[in-house]
Structure 1
Amino acid sequence: MAPNIAFSAPYAAGVALLCLLYFVVYPVVVYLRDVKGLRRFHNMTPLSGITAIPFMILAHGGARSTYLSKMHKKYPVIRTGPNTLSYGDLRAIKDIYGHNTPCTKDTSYIITSGSHYHLADVIDRQDHSRKRKVLSAAYAIKNLEEWEHKVADKTARMIKHFDKCCTAPLPAGQIPAPEDVNLDYRTWTNFFSLDAIADIGLSEKLGFLDRGHDRITGRRLDGTKYECNYRECLYQNARKQSLLVWPYAWYPFINKVANIIPFYGRMGKLGRDWDGIPLELSHRRLDRYRAGEKLDDFFQALMEDKGGKPNNLEWGEIVAEVSIMMNAGSATTAIAMTNVLFQLLKNPATMDKLVEELDAALEGDDLEEEAVVAYDKVKHLPYLRACLDESLRIFPPTPHGLPRETPPDGINIMGDYIPGGVTVAISAFVAHRNEAYFPQADKFIPERWLGEEGKRLQPYFLAFSAGARGCIGRNISYLEQTVVLASVLRRYRFALPSPAFELERLETMNWLIKDMPVKIWRRRDEGLGE
């Protein structure tokens, strides 16, 4: 035994020394050498210029953009990691995200992608242009309005459940009885967004609104199937990435090793379950396509162009596009729907003004016969759109800064040269809380989006990102948000459990929002809206 002990002690000491040199000494030396000249920027913490660990710790707190927003009131540029800069000055938006920017999506999109890139994570410009050309027809506003009947169908199914939850009107100044707070608006609008995007994209009837739960079948690569909860798999997968991705070079290793810890292991298991959901949905739709069904949906646009010519995409690419559609196409819209009703309930004068606009536009409509408001009747209402945009401003569904990498030759950002290979970003949450552009930024003021002032603010509105890589699904989101909000406010009144109620938000890549329980009653029962 003695020889082994004698051998293992120097070996262990050598390993410890190597670890010290690699993980401590080397990063410090790189920081002091400062080849890229980033030491001139304010560090988020004293260690942020040396390691990504402080940002990982901040991510675990679930409010990193809120923290950065406070720091950016004092510092226009913050070094959040050894090679990462966060901007708070909105003049940088054009340089980082504008149509002519030479910046590209950074390494984080590569290390979190699957076997094939989808439109949201593809980095190569030519490949992005190819994908955008294939998908732009599917996302065009003309097609979306032709698909309005699918949105209307899901709205009607949601209203059917809402009607069952209705109670007696709440007298002014009173707090709802606990037993009357029987509707979780957050959950049911999420069921809506999932059912809607599955129908628009795949002509798939998930039936979450009918069943009142989100159990779904997933498929493993070997063809075996399993049952899981859609929302839990989707959101916990994103949460794990948001906690661990920041030291890019080490993420693949950390992501696997972390599964040993139950906290991360559970999220990892749910992430693998998520991967099988779009795979199963894609196989179902492919079977229908092969059977000769020509369906007016997103999948059809993936398979063929408008003239019926096959696009000949690889199967992995098709599944990747279905995956991002079912992810981004449902999560952010549901978050937005919850946020806007919450803000309106917290600001009753604004609610009354919006309801007045809706009632005037829909005067004469029979609420019993036409429970779902037609998009064409309300899509141009200025105050309705202002309320949606102000809610998206104050709590953008994707709050974190979408990371971009500077080109090899570097770039001038706000006239300041930044070398190549540096990750730069502006958080939508940070941008939207900038008092120089959005006075009283913490307050819900839809009026700021009206008239010429509203037009002036549009370049600084990052809820859907900006430039050539802006969200291709924004038209779908506005369609769904507009129809749902107009329909429910025309038909119902709502009340939060108490005036002090606040939504619980946890920042991942998007917000994780907990339940929003409300009391609901019909407007007709208080003599209004007929």
Structure 2
Amino acid sequence: MYAISAAPYAVLLGSCAILYFVIYPVVWYYRDPKGLRRFPNMTPLSGISAVPFMILAHTGARSTRLVELHKSHPVIRTGPTTLSYADPRAIKDIYGHNTKCTKDGSYVITSGSHFHLADVIDKPEHARKRKVLSSAYALKNLEGWEHKVADKTDRMIRHFDKCCTAPLKPGRLPEREDLNVDYREWTNYFTLDAIADIGLSEKLGFLDNGHDRVIARKTDGTTYECNFRECLYQNARKQSLLIWSYAWYPIINKISNIIPFYGRMGHLAREWDGIPVELAHRRLERYRAGEKLDDFFQALMEDKNGNPNNLEWGEIVAEVSIMMNAGSATTAIAMANVLYQLLKNPEVMKKLVDELDAALEDEESPVVPYDRVKHLPYLRACLDESLRLFPPTPHALPREVPAEGLYIMDDYIAGGVSVGMSALVAHRNEAQFPQADKYIPERWLGEEGKNLQPYFIAFSAGARGCIGRNISYLEQTVVLASMLRRYKFALPSPQWEIQRLETMNWLLEELPVKIWRRQLNAACV
């Protein structure tokens, strides 16, 4: 018997790896079949590999870095076949109603067994899905469900009333023990409870219980407990770190699980998968029992005439998943951001509170009715300016150029290239938003505000724009008006800064505040 040396095979394997991972990308870069070398690279290696963008993603400040880079370049090459845009003229070409761009491959590799409304790529299929859900998301229906939003606002008020402390003395900082409300946490409990009730007639009870423990279901029918927010956000975080090499993501995602840092996120991602399954299962049982409930799930199952939509179970679960994800995360981020901005800008806070007090002088309910405040111009301006300054989803939603290519800002881009514009980049453009780093709600008032709308992409734009923007504004408006009408808040100090970590959305750290009751007339309770 002769021993066979492994050395030649190791050399061959190493040579193949160098050829595939080093030489081929360099040759491809210099061949430049898609004509992208004319654009400046984000880093010297960005035209060759997606690794630099993956490294940038790990900083948690991806879009913040792009804001700085785009001050010098309107278009930047962030990967071998990806371009980032900053010029607002590109919004219509990339995201507009008549664009030929489609959602790119990132939506395919992160989808489950069935596409949902937010990740479906095929345009006719998207139109079918949107038709099924559009009636449920119509503004007239949302205002009819205002009582569900009011109920959740009332539950949050009950908790905050218990947390109230003595008024803060002028010139003093809050005592540590008085910083007893994490506003970020409680607004997230609010949005989760609200969307579960509106969408599924489900009472999660997070606001009542003060935690987000929830039952989830495996495919074999067994159940387990997990923390809703942790599972949801760590799932998104892992994707945001590793997804950028689309072709290699499925393999990288699996291999990464052996590394503790990623493995924990992978475990939580798998636990997340069981949450929408359990919620959809419980709601389906009620539907089969004959309950006719006024919620999104009913719209999934039947059209407005009561005819069955005959959706597959996987599609139902997918739609429940995106509803509980997108329907809670971004609005909670927006709610925390706007209070933070108001506390950092007391002159703006005073102007807004004055507007609310004038409009609600005779209002006795602790929960402010939406109809009383939905048309207040400064309230809406404060919300929009917060969404502009820190859009809940800063990530550049990527779109793929069709095979025949197209012109973006009169510049031909070859087919198969992924293009996008970060909302953070768009909103920090000084040409449209002077003093873009400052919180100035006045910019949204009057004709000037109307003229800014085409450059405002916090909810994306075009046919793929957020279908839930109306409900987000409803919740933000009612909660902010009710909170500022009833309470005063204080940060740990005027210099205190909230910590943000970018995934696809922002992950906000705690927002600790001192809270106390305002002194209003005796009729206001």
Q: Please indicate the TM-score interval, normalised by the length of the shorter structure.
A: over 0.9
1:236 to 213, 234, 237: 234
Task: State yes or no: 1:467 paired with 2:462.
Answer: yes
Mapped to 2, the partners of 1:2 and 1:163 lie a distance apart of: 82
For each residue in 1:246-282, what CA deviation from the matched residue of structure 2 results, as whole angstroms up to 9, or x when unmatched? 0000000000000000100000000000010000000
Aligned to 1:318: 316
Aligned to 1:349: 347
Aligned to 2:304: 306
1:131 to 115, 123, 129: 129
For each residue in 1:173-216, what CA deviation from the matched residue of structure 2 results, as whole angstroms up to 9, or x when unmatched? 21111111111100000000000000000000000000000000
Aligned to 1:505: 500
Mapped to 2, the partners of 1:365 and 1:303 lie a distance apart of: 39
Mapped to 2, the partners of 1:309 and 1:82 lie a distance apart of: 48
1:434 to 419, 422, 429: 429
Residue 3 of structure 1, CA deviation: 2.0
Task: State yes or no: 1:484 paired with 2:479.
Answer: yes
Aligned to 1:176: 174
* Number of residue equivalences: 525
Aligned to 1:273: 271
Mapped to 1, the partners of 2:25 and 2:3 lie a distance apart of: 36
Aligned to 1:329: 327
Task: State yes or no: 1:406 paired with 2:404.
Answer: no
Mapped to 2, the partners of 1:375 and 1:525 lie a distance apart of: 20
1:253 to 251, 254, 259: 251
Q: Contact 2:405 / 2:412 at 8 angstroms: preserved in 1?
A: yes
Q: Contact 1:168 / 1:525 at 8 angstroms: preserved in 2?
A: no
Q: Contact 1:490 / 1:529 at 8 angstroms: preserved in 2?
A: no
For each residue in 1:489-519, what CA deviation from the matched residue of structure 2 results, as whole angstroms up to 9, or x when unmatched? 0000000011111110000010000100000
Which stretch shifts more, 516-525 or 124-133?
516-525
Residue 528 of structure 1, CA deviation: 12
Mapped to 2, the partners of 1:347 and 1:265 lie a distance apart of: 41
Structural mapping, 1:78-93, within 5 Å: 78-93=76-91
| AA at the equivalent of 2:427 | H
Q: Contact 2:401 / 2:417 at 8 angstroms: preserved in 1?
A: yes
Aligned to 1:211: 209
Gaps of 5+ in 1: none
Residue 409 of structure 1, CA deviation: 0.9
For each residue in 1:139-181, what CA deviation from the matched residue of structure 2 results, as whole angstroms up to 9, or x when unmatched? 0000000000000000000000000000011122211111111
Task: State yes or no: 1:166 paired with 2:161.
Answer: no
Mapped to 1, the partners of 2:363 and 2:103 lie a distance apart of: 48
1:444 to 414, 439, 444: 439
1:146 to 144, 147, 169: 144
Mapped to 2, the partners of 1:527 and 1:444 lie a distance apart of: 34
3-state SS of the aligned residue for 2:220?
coil
| AA at the equivalent of 1:99 | H
Over the aligned positions, Cα root-mean-square deviation in angstroms equals: 1.2
Mapped to 1, the partners of 2:378 and 2:233 lie a distance apart of: 32
Residue 315 of structure 1, CA deviation: 0.7
Aligned to 2:197: 199
Q: Contact 1:169 / 1:526 at 8 angstroms: preserved in 2?
A: no
Aligned to 2:37: 39
Mapped to 1, the partners of 2:49 and 2:206 lie a distance apart of: 44
| AA at the equivalent of 1:190 | N
Aligned to 2:488: 493
Q: Contact 1:523 / 1:529 at 8 angstroms: preserved in 2?
A: no
Aligned to 2:118: 120
Change (3 A) 1:528 1:297: closer
Mapped to 2, the partners of 1:218 and 1:104 lie a distance apart of: 33
| AA at the equivalent of 1:324 | I
3-state SS of the aligned residue for 2:327?
helix
| AA at the equivalent of 1:471 | C
- Taking every aligned residue pair, what percent have the same amino acid on both sides? 77
Mapped to 1, the partners of 2:359 and 2:309 lie a distance apart of: 43
Residue 529 of structure 1, CA deviation: 7.1
1:394 to 380, 389, 400: 389
Mapped to 1, the partners of 2:520 and 2:123 lie a distance apart of: 56
Mapped to 1, the partners of 2:521 and 2:333 lie a distance apart of: 29
Residue 524 of structure 1, CA deviation: 1.9
| AA at the equivalent of 1:287 | E
Aligned to 1:189: 187
Mapped to 2, the partners of 1:126 and 1:491 lie a distance apart of: 48
2:356 to 355, 358, 368: 358
Residue 483 of structure 1, CA deviation: 0.2
Mapped to 1, the partners of 2:409 and 2:78 lie a distance apart of: 19
Gaps of 5+ in 2: none
Mapped to 1, the partners of 2:521 and 2:502 lie a distance apart of: 39
Aligned to 2:94: 96
Mapped to 1, the partners of 2:162 and 2:288 lie a distance apart of: 40
Structural mapping, 1:24-35, within 5 Å: 24-35=22-33
Q: Contact 1:182 / 1:518 at 8 angstroms: preserved in 2?
A: yes
Aligned to 2:366: 371
3-state SS of the aligned residue for 1:218?
strand
Residue 2 of structure 1, CA deviation: 7.0
Mapped to 1, the partners of 2:18 and 2:216 lie a distance apart of: 44
Q: Contact 1:122 / 1:128 at 8 angstroms: preserved in 2?
A: yes
Q: Contact 2:58 / 2:241 at 8 angstroms: preserved in 1?
A: yes
Mapped to 1, the partners of 2:524 and 2:22 lie a distance apart of: 67
Q: Contact 1:169 / 1:525 at 8 angstroms: preserved in 2?
A: no
Q: Contact 1:237 / 1:271 at 8 angstroms: preserved in 2?
A: yes
3-state SS of the aligned residue for 1:308?
coil
Residue 364 of structure 1, CA deviation: 1.2
Mapped to 2, the partners of 1:450 and 1:524 lie a distance apart of: 30
Q: Contact 2:366 / 2:524 at 8 angstroms: preserved in 1?
A: no
3-state SS of the aligned residue for 1:42?
coil
Moved over 3 A (4+): 525-530
For each residue in 1:373-407, what CA deviation from the matched residue of structure 2 results, as whole angstroms up to 9, or x when unmatched? 00000000000000000000000000010000001
Mapped to 2, the partners of 1:514 and 1:438 lie a distance apart of: 27
Q: Contact 2:232 / 2:272 at 8 angstroms: preserved in 1?
A: yes
| AA at the equivalent of 2:7 | A
